[in-house]
Structure 1
Amino acid sequence: MKLFSSMLVLLAGLLSACTSQQKNNYFTPVADCQLRAPAYPLVTIDPYTSGWSFTDQLNADQTRHWTGKPFPLLGVLRVDGTNYRFMGKENIPLRPVLSTAKLEKWDASYTEKKPAANWFEATFNDASWKKGKAAFGTPEMPHLATTWQSEDIWVRRTFDLDEDVADQTVYLNYSHDDVFELYINGKQVVSTGNTWKNDVLLELPADVKASLRKGKNVIAAHCHNTTGGAYVDFGLSVKMPDAMFFETAADQTHVTFTPTQTYYTFACGPVALKVIFTAPLLMDDLDLMSRPVNYISYQVESADGKAHDVQLYLEATSAWATNVPGQAVESAVILKPEGLQYAMTGTVDQPVLQTKGDDVRIDWGHFYLAAPQKESVTFGASDFMSLKKEFAAAGSISRGRNIDDPNQEHSLAMVDNLGSVKDAASGYAMIAYDDDYAIQYFNDNRMAYWKHNGQVSIDQVLLQASKDYDPVMQRCRTFDEQLMNDTRTAGGEQYAELCALVYRQILAAHKLVEDKNGNLLYFSKENFSNGSIGTVDITYPSSPLFLVYNPELLKGMMNFIFEYSESGRWQKPFAAHDVGTYPQANGQTYGGDMPVEESGNMLILTTAIALREGNADYAKKHWDVLTTWTNYLVEAGLDPENQLCTDDFAGHFAHNANLSIKAILGIAGYGKLAEMLGDQETADKYLKAAKEMAGKWKEMAIDGDHYKLTFDQPGTWSQKYNLIWDKLLGLNIFDKDIATTEMAYYKTVQNTYGLPLDSRKTYTKSDWIMWTACLTGEMDDFNALVAPVYKYANETPSRIPLSDWHETTDATSVGFRARSVVGGYFMKVLEQRMCPEASQPQPAQ
């Protein structure tokens, strides 16, 4: 019995040691990526709750939403009474003194007829102008009050200023589409070219600020709409007085990342600090993947062998729950009897699913900063300054809520008094967001997947996330190691680091819900492009990641497109472009169709799903609409007429050779699906048609040592990235020498930072490069094209979540950011999975 007891004690000790070692292992990444990220992912839950560091040093700037707007997280470690700021900066928020339409539909005089030359002067008489409320614009624009659809509008906003702003920093906040000029009290402040921007903040020059006086003032603006949408909105804000409490920055000694985690290390005087940001985006567990909770883990340890008195301060602000500064918020601190505690915040108005568009943030639901209950941890909610001031002075904060003003930005803070620290001491906090309803799907408000139609609450999820901390952290490590090994084996070390960088970006650009019948709907947001939801030509380039790790999610990105046509809501003989503007999926809002593009995309991806699953059951469910789309491509796909394609930013044109490839492979894919379903007659018919079209394509596209951009333009070229599916789907429709001929030519025309998209411009799309790099299956070809993409990501001066559209000459972003299309980076891994005999694995380096 004594021996048995001794063995139990020994076993318990071993288990305890293993658990302790496992916890310490969390702070040692499974890989040390050398790539300098353009921006480092911190909190990545969905397109709204998405926080990043845009700088190499976590404490060099405030943390930001992927759009660039402040999403403040502040971290301070107090060591023996000295405060070391390791995360964020204390940037004082702005206070609106003249609201934009996002906060108030303000009154103005306006005209759409050209006025007298002095229309912008403060003394101008606008009594004959129409009266209306802002914002002004076309019907699809946000916060609209007055419709404007003509070419020009002149707007005058007269207001009374009830405070002296002479000693304050004053900002103009404006949004416009397109050509815009603006005057304050007769002085010109803005004059743009043909462009459109939202929420521009511009500090007023001294002479303009001096013209602002107590009493009557006038802002006058003129906007000229060249094409498409039109918009006008503007207001004024002032910067609150500076008050810095944490000026001493910790010394960041290292940063790296893996697919689901970002790791930082700091020297805080005599104490070493490690911090991990973890997003458990594991695609084999949809409840966990969609759970709106991320972890911030921390570990402190003496660096000089002596004990030190240590407290850790974490703070977020109500900006995480608002679209624009100045929205009224309410906050609270909650202690739950189950052992959970948190601070929460949300807007007073709660405009559920009303705020839609591109450069917007969520302003309904509630943001949470949470942790398990323990004696050392205190939560507080207060105005922007008070908690900082308390902690800076004493290393502690007042428990509970102490806020009177809903119109100022609130701070939510957690303090962990770690006490006397010599050996490693650790803890974690959770960041979460409960959006109540996530997506409006054809006027039916749907909850996020994790809520299971209201059966699961945010309290339950936070409590479960707390209980799951250890196993989830271990699962993330295991997955990170698996993905790094998969990508390293497929394409080498640099390729693996690129894939690790983009993984969270891809999944955080989506939202998972179910329809009322329980079908998965996995909606993408077209970030910094146009804000569309469920865009087919966003799904298509992102598909390789999902085909590798979970085709069910790819089906979730296609189900609503099939339903749109099958329900009769979409009646055209080709696939829709999108199903709305995020988060409202009520039908296509994009201004133009992409008939060949989207139909080809849907057919190719349906075929890929069938081959990955070993059956065509999914295609069989949607056979009628697939047949309609295929027949459309047979008629219109070989030599496409003038139309948009996924590269529409480069302009649209007729006779697009790369688009033709997509159409032909879509038709062949349909034939393959028919074959898998046992309908050989149909299979033979469409495979023959595709083969004949491919022969004609080669004759029409050949241009000496390469193939043309368009059939009618000799001396042009383009990346034929769509050709990759001929190999992956086992179709063998195109002659194999096309790929080798193209690859040889590409290597003669690429630039320092990549292969241009085509012969018209020097810019490129890096997702397409990754596809083009796989065309021959030769590793030398793959490496030749991928190395410049790595160089781009490592050296780009555009410090934003990775842009997939960049200049190959200087590595600057041309447009787009944080988009899910970089799922296309996983094409090399998909190639190994679908045709391993054609891909030469890269030995681990």
Structure 2
Amino acid sequence: MARVLLFTFLILTFFASCIISQNPPVNLPLAIRSPYFNCWGDATAPGQNWPFLWNSNHLGLYGSIRVDGIAYKWVGGDSPGLNLTSRVDLQITPTRTMYTLQAGPSMLINVTFMTPIETEDLVTQSIPFSYIYLDAMSTDGQPHDVQVYLDITGEWVTGNRSEIITWKGTKSATSTFYETWLSTQTQYEEKNDQIEDATAYIAMRSGPTVTATVAGLFDNRGGFSDKGVLPDPDTDTSRAVSDNWPVFAVAADLGRISQTSQSVVWAVGVARNPVIAYTTGTGAVQNRAPYFMVQYPNIESAIDAFLLDSDDARQRSIALDAKIAGDTAAISPVYTGLVSLAARQVIGSTDLTIANGTDGKWNMSDVKMFMKDVGSSGRINPVETLYASLPYFLYVNASYIGYLLEPLLEFQNSSQYTQPYAATDLGTSYPKAVGSNQPHAQGIEQTGNMLIMALAHAQSSGDGSLISRYYDLLSSWAKYLVNTVPNASQQVTADLESMTNMSNLLIKGIIAIQAMSTIAGSLDRGDDASTFSNSAQSLLNTWVTSGVSPDGSHVLATYGDQNSWALPYNLFADKLLQTNLVNITFYTSEAAFLKTFLASSSSPETPFGIPIDSSVTSQADAGWSVFTAAITPDTAVRDTLIQPVYSAIASNQSTLTYSKIYKLDSGESVSGRSSPALGAILAPLALNLSIKTISVPPPPPLPPKRSIAGPVVGGVLGGLGLLALGFAGFFYWRYRQRRKYRFSGKLDIDEAGSPGHATIYGLPPGSDPGAFPVSPESPDDRGSRELLMASNTPMVVSVVRPSKHQEAAQQRERYMLPPGSAPSPPTSSNSGHSTDPGSSVEPPTTVSPTSGSEVQGLRVEVENLRKAMQQIQVAPPEYSQ
């Protein structure tokens, strides 16, 4: 019966996608969630050695289980006199490290350290916590009294163990937890690779048998071991990390059980807010918050949600582990183990952030991710490391690479950046992303990396917003490559190689130019697409002639050096982006060359692989080795390149965390311990991803062109207004001239001295001006009349004899008639005046002052002018600049 229960326990615990490491590394990832929450543990005996930060700083994490009054330690170190658990089995998946341990003669436990890798939910991905699950069952089929315990120390919040820490305990209906932080925090400052502004947490779901306390390590751990209960909390609320080592413990009494009905779950975390000081393109500094705060306004609510989600989170992790196991198994079991070991350390080097908008609310369109060059330089968003990790992010969630590229592109698109090529990073000291405008010699390397990543993001996510928004910047970089690839004598690689015309470097630049052609084509910029494609093809012709061996079998280390060779890892981008610059037959030839070369006596191959080219003799690069394996069509050669990378990571000679660059003779780390660059290990999986149709959002509106329409319209209106005033002034002057002679009398206006003259008659004596008959007038007519006349007194004008001036006046009458009407012909008068054309006297005509026809004509002109001005205002003419 006991054997049946044991079998059932193992099946239930490990049923999904677990990877059995026949030859596990010395150290394993336990809880890696951010650059400062990066905890590793001993693979063989987790209860004998302390967990540690990637740089080997000890981290206080201690766990024990008490069975029938006897305590057994399952994680931690330096505790003499305590009973230890013994390892029965070890399972490693991309998200979990699972120990099966024997606790005394009658209890088997499984401890699972799980750090979720969320492929969809940004909120859960950004919560800075990790799970520790414990399941137990008896091996004799009998129930036993069981209590469980876990604690952390102040070592999680500072690299200086003599600093003063403060703490606080909280117990709510949902969660029970302790938190600790430095009494005097220094924002954004590190000591010994640990940040000085963090708060560490240990938590568990609240329950009737769940307790928590803070006490000296001997009181807490010893008290639990002896009595199965926690002591009363210390009366202190702060002291130095190493002063009687205050430890923060959470324990639970499971009662008398033969098997746990559900997992005991702790949450351990290291939280910070803000997490990044980012200098924007305007020079302003943003103190950016962890992304989870868009949903959880404080850490307490985030802890509650994280603990409540523990079951679902485990199911999501199991599903992701199963997917990765299925995809990697198609390559090899060794490859499956390699991916399982490296997955957590990639995303665990990042912080996903959000910033406030101008309205004080979270700006949901301003999501940025930041990466620390863990284990190496400590730089922010190091471009060559982003490029190496690209396959990982494309596989997990292509949007993540967009969030990582955004701050780099934003800064370099601003006036603060003046170099013609891409920067190497956003700053040299995480988490202060101050930007970098420093000149450097890695122009082809980093510019090529940025263009390749920009297109890869668009093709894998289908989101063209990034390449659209920064098109001009990307285009300028491509032009730099067009001019620099043919003259690359001063260029340096990210591996710090500085030979002239390095073939592997130059092909990256050529692929990047072709990538820009694809970017241009996806944005319907056909001319640019053709130009960049032609340039890439021209440069490729030179590369094939000079950078490839004469027999076309392999890539040379440098142009023309027939005795050299190089791993063609930069051809990975050609396959990933499907730019297809290099003929498929060349990949086959290169694989054949490598196969023969590796089998030859002159090969530098060791159990840990080969160097990246013939100029290097002592070290290998895990990322570039797997990049090369990914593009190799010969599976035997592919596996030959992958196996040594696993051997180096799993080597018992390597006592450190997994490194990108290691010694060929021992597998020991050279640089990049716990580096996110090991995301390169997913390169074979990335090549199986489909390319999506790029959806390009509508381009932002262009700045308005300076148009001359406004000035022209203004000039027209002003001119017409002056013309109208001119007409009004002229007729008013005429009116004033005539008004001088409103009395009866004669005025000779024949300036030429002709006998003709005009007599202006006033109203008959006693006439009433108001009784003078006038036609009804519209408001516009009335306005025109009042404008032109100082008085509305009718006048009778008798034209005695025509003169040149009269004829001219008659012509003006005809001109000023309403459109479409004809001048009135002479008519017979009932007054008895003669109408004989030969007569020297014409009949009198009754008109308004000046002339009725003139006024009417002027009214018409004013009305036409008014309509013309309205039309101009409604529909101004269009002009091109």
What is the TM-score of this pair, normalised by structure 2? 0.71
Using the TM superposition, give the Cα deviation of residue 669 of structure 1 relative to its aligned residue in structure 2, in angstroms: 0.5
Give the superposition deviation at 1:544. Answer: 0.8
Which residue of 2 is the match for residue 460 of structure 1? 301
- 2:541 is the alignment partner of 1:695: yes
Task: Give yes or no for the alignment of 1:397 onto 2:230.
Answer: yes
| Residues 158-207 of structure 1: per-residue CA shift (max 9 Å, x gap) | xxxxxxxxxxxxxxxxxxxxxxxxxxxxxxxxxxxxxxxxxxxxxxxxxx
- Please say if residues 263 and 275 of structure 1, whose CA atoms lie closer than 8 Å, have aligned partners that are also in contact: yes
With over 3 angstroms needed to count, the CA separation of the structure-2 counterparts of 1:355 and 1:263, relative to structure 1, is same
Q: Kindly provide the amino acid, as one letter, of the partner of residue 360 in structure 1.
A: D
Instruction: Show the 5 A alignment for 1:269-348.
Output: 269=104, 270-336=106-172, 338-348=173-183
Q: Does 1:365 align with 2:198?
A: yes
Q: Aligned-pair distance for 1:401?
A: 4.0
* CA deviation vs aligned residue, 1:453-506 (integer Å, no higher than 9, x gap): x952110011111221211111111111112112223x2221122111111111
C-alpha distance in 2, partners of 1:311/1:394?
A: 10
Aligned to 2:865: none
- State whether structure 2 residue 83 is matched by structure 1 residue 248: yes
Matched, 1:662 2:517: no
Describe how 1:576-591 pairs up with structure 2 within 5 A: 576-580=423-427, 581-588=429-436
Matches within 5 A, 1:802-841: 802-834=658-690
**Do the aligned residues in 2 keep the contact of 1:771 with 1:824 (CA within 8 Å)?**
yes
By how many angstroms is 1:413 displaced? 1.0
Alpha-carbon distance, 1:666 to partner: 0.5
Q: 2:48 maps to what in 1? A: 60
1:429 aligned partner? 266
Which of 606, 625, 640 is the aligned partner of 1:751? 606
SS where residue 212 of structure 2 aligns?
strand
Aligned match of 1:493 in 330, 333, 344?
A: 333
Q: Tell me: higher relative CO, structure 1 or 2? Use CA pairs within 8 A at least 6 residues apart.
A: 1
Partner of 2:826: none
Answering whether residue 32 of structure 2 is matched by residue 44 of structure 1, we say yes
In structure 2, the partner of 1:14 is none
Q: Distance in 1 between matches of 2:81 and 2:92?
A: 27
Separation in structure 2 between the aligned mates of residue 779 and residue 590 of structure 1, nearest angstrom: 43
Q: Deviation of residue 735 (structure 1)? A: 3.4
CA–CA separation in structure 2 for the residues paired with 1:593 and 1:456: 45
CA distance in 2, matches of 1:266, 1:569: 57
Contact 1:577–1:593, Cα closer than 8 Å, also in 2:
no
State the Cα distance separating 1:23 from its structure 2 match: 12
Deviation at 1:388, TM superposition (A): 1.7
Letter in 1 for 2:493: C
* Matched ranges for 1:594-743 at <5 A: 594-614=442-462, 616-648=464-496, 651-704=497-550, 705-711=553-559, 713-743=561-591
Q: Aligned pair in 2 of structure 1 residues 614, 283: CA closer, same or farther (>3 Å)?
A: closer
CA contact (8 A) 1:331 1:410 kept: no
Paired letter, 2:89:
H
> Any conservation in 2 of the 1:83–1:246 contact (CA below 8 Å)?
no
1:32 to 2:19 alignment:
yes
Residues 311 and 782 (structure 1), Cα distance of their counterparts in 2 relative to 1, 3 Å cut:
same
SS in structure 1 at match of 2:196:
coil
Match for 1:508 among 345, 348, 361? 348
Q: 2-side partners of 1:478 and 1:22: how far apart?
A: 20
Answer whether contact 2:25 2:652 (CA < 8 A) is retained. no
* Counterparts of 1:696 and 1:419, CA distance in 2: 76
Aligned partner of 2:287 among 433, 438, 445: 445
Q: Tell me the CA shift for residue 323 of structure 1.
A: 2.2
SS of the equivalent of 1:832 reads: coil
Give the superposition deviation at 1:659. 0.9
CA RMSD for the aligned pairs?
2.3
Alignment correspondent of 1:800? 656
Between the aligned partners of 2:326 and 2:277, the Cα distance in structure 1 is 39
1:484·1:496 contact (CA, 8 Å) conserved in 2? Answer: yes
How many aligned residue pairs are there?
656
Contact 1:333 1:400 in 2 (8 A): no
Instruction: Give the SS at the match of 1:294.
Output: strand
462-471 vs 513-522, greater mean Cα deviation: 513-522
What does the per-residue CA deviation read over 1:258-305, in whole Å, with 9 as the maximum and x for residues that have no partner? 111111111111111111111122121111111112111111111112
Q: Any idea what SS the aligned residue of 1:734 has?
A: coil
Q: Distance in 2 between matches of 1:665 and 1:710?
A: 17
**Structure 2 counterpart of 1:420:** 256
Does the aligned pair in 2 maintain the 1:281–1:290 contact within 8 Å?
no
Aligned to 1:17: none
- Secondary structure, aligned partner of 2:659: coil
After TM superposition, give the deviation of residue 809 of structure 1 in Å. 3.1
**Equivalent residues of 1:798, 1:813 under 8 A apart:** yes
Return the offset for 1:712: 5.5
Gaps of 5+ in 1: 1-20, 91-243, 837-845
How do 1:49-448 and structure 2 match up within 5 A? 49-90=37-78, 244=79, 246-269=81-104, 270-336=106-172, 338-355=173-190, 359-403=192-236, 406-407=239-240, 408=243, 409-425=245-261, 426-442=263-279, 443-448=285-290
Most deviating of 651-660 and 316-325: 651-660
1:400 is displaced (CA, Å) by 3.5
Deviation at 1:596, TM superposition (A): 1.0
SS in 2 for 1:821: helix
Q: Is the 8 A contact 2:44 2:87 kept in 1?
A: no
The amino acid across from 1:33 in the alignment is I
Displacement after TM superposition at 1:792 (Å): 2.4
More helix by share: 2
What's the CA shift string for 1:630-667, capped at 9, x where partnerless?
Answer: 0100011244232332212xx43332211101100000
Change (3 A) 1:593 1:352: farther
> Aligned AA for 1:774?
A
- Higher strand proportion (structure 1 or 2): 1
Aligned to 1:637, what secondary structure does the other structure show? helix
Instruction: Quote the Cα distance in structure 2 between the aligned partners of 1:487 and 1:824.
Output: 14
1:410: how far off? 2.1
After superposition, the Cα gap between the structure-2 partners of 1:24 and 1:724, relative to the gap in structure 1 and judged at 3 Å, is closer
Distance 2:649 2:15 in 1: 24
Distance 1:400 1:767, change over 3 A: same
2:353 is the counterpart of 1:520: no
Tell me which amino acid in the other structure corresponds to 1:432: G
Please state how far the C-alpha of 1:88 moved relative to its aligned partner.
1.2
Q: What does the per-residue CA deviation read over 1:767-815, in whole Å, with 9 as the maximum and x for residues that have no partner?
A: 1111101223332332221122222223251122211111233322222
- Measured in 1, the distance between the counterparts of 2:131 and 2:20 equals 21
Post-superposition offset of 1:531: 0.4
Where does residue 776 of structure 1 map in the other structure?
A: 632
The answer to whether the 8 A contact 1:542-1:823 is kept is yes
The secondary structure found in structure 1 opposite 2:152 is strand
Where structure 2 has 5 or more consecutive residues not aligned to the other structure, the ranges are: 1-7, 280-284, 357-362, 598-602, 693-881
